[in-house]
């Protein structure tokens, strides 16, 4: 850290935060993927954002999840490597059958085993968009035991529940709801603050 005379904090390289964002939906016109893409416009200062796809991950198979990372499937290796370098993760997901979509849970499982499991103790911000009125609240509840098992550091507040997502984007896929933008900014800032605090 660098401090100006009088202890005032000035811009510093060590405050750079690198976030990785993942969508829980593989659908081309996914509202969650649209939301994920909007986040880069709402980030706090000194925050880099990289989007990581789960589309090419195979179904989890412990026989292929070999601790010596060179032996895992290539898409899994890449997925784990990108997550390992991140200071924090942003998960943007729909709710499927009141729970976590299978594809996203599969991705989490691939990043959860071994001493070098990249999600272990990782700060995370979870949010979601759905067409219904509950805005993924049950999916977010379903994630709590996963975070607990992996000793992750979820930023619980503010909660981001984007209900009736079909009314919140324009025809170009841009978020057009100011209240949603504001709460997204607050969530990302809270994640950044947690990362800095727990470094």
Choice between 86 and 165, CB closer to ligand FMN: 165
Residue 168's nearest CA partner among 130, 120, 127, 122 is 130
Longest C-alpha distance within the chain, in Å?
57
Closest separation in Å from C-beta 90 to ligand FMN: 14
Closest separation in Å from C-beta 152 to ligand FMN: 22
Closest separation in Å from C-beta 95 to ligand FMN: 4
The helix/strand count (H/E) of the chain reads as 5, 8
| Bridge partner list, 47 | 17
Choice between 96 and 147, CB closer to ligand FMN: 96
Choice between 166 and 179, CB closer to ligand FMN: 166
Closest separation in Å from C-beta 130 to ligand FMN: 3
The CA distance from 123 to 19, in Å, is 10
Choice between 58 and 132, CB closer to ligand FMN: 132
The CA distance from 44 to 193, in Å, is 10
Residues interacting with ligand FMN, by CB under 6 A? 25, 27, 30-32, 94-98, 130-132, 134
Lookup result for tokens 């599969």: 106
The CA distance from 194 to 118, in Å, is 18
């Amino acid at each position: 850290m660098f401090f100006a005379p009088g202890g005032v904090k000035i811009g510093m390289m060590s405050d750079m935060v690198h976030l990785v964002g993942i969508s829980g939906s593989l659908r081309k016109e996914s509202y969650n993927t649209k939301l994920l893409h909007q986040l880069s416009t709402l980030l706090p200062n000194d925050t880099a954002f990289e989007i990581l796809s789960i589309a090419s991950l195979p179904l989890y198979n412990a026989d292929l999840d070999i601790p010596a990372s060179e032996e895992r499937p290539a898409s899994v290796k890449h997925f784990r490597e990108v997550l390992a370098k991140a200071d924090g993760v942003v998960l943007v997901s729909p709710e499927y059958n009141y729970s976590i979509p299978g594809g996203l849970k599969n991705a989490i499982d691939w990043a959860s085993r071994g001493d070098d499991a990249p999600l272990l103790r990782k700060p995370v911000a979870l949010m979601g968009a759905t067409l219904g009125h509950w805005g993924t609240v049950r999916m977010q509840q379903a994630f709590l035991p996963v975070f607990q098992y992996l000793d992750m550091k979820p930023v619980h507040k503010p909660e981001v529940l984007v209900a009736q997502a079909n009314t919140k984007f324009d025809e170009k896929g841009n978020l057009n709801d100011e209240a949603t933008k504001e709460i997204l900014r607050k969530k990302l800032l809270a994640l950044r603050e947690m990362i800095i605090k727990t470094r």
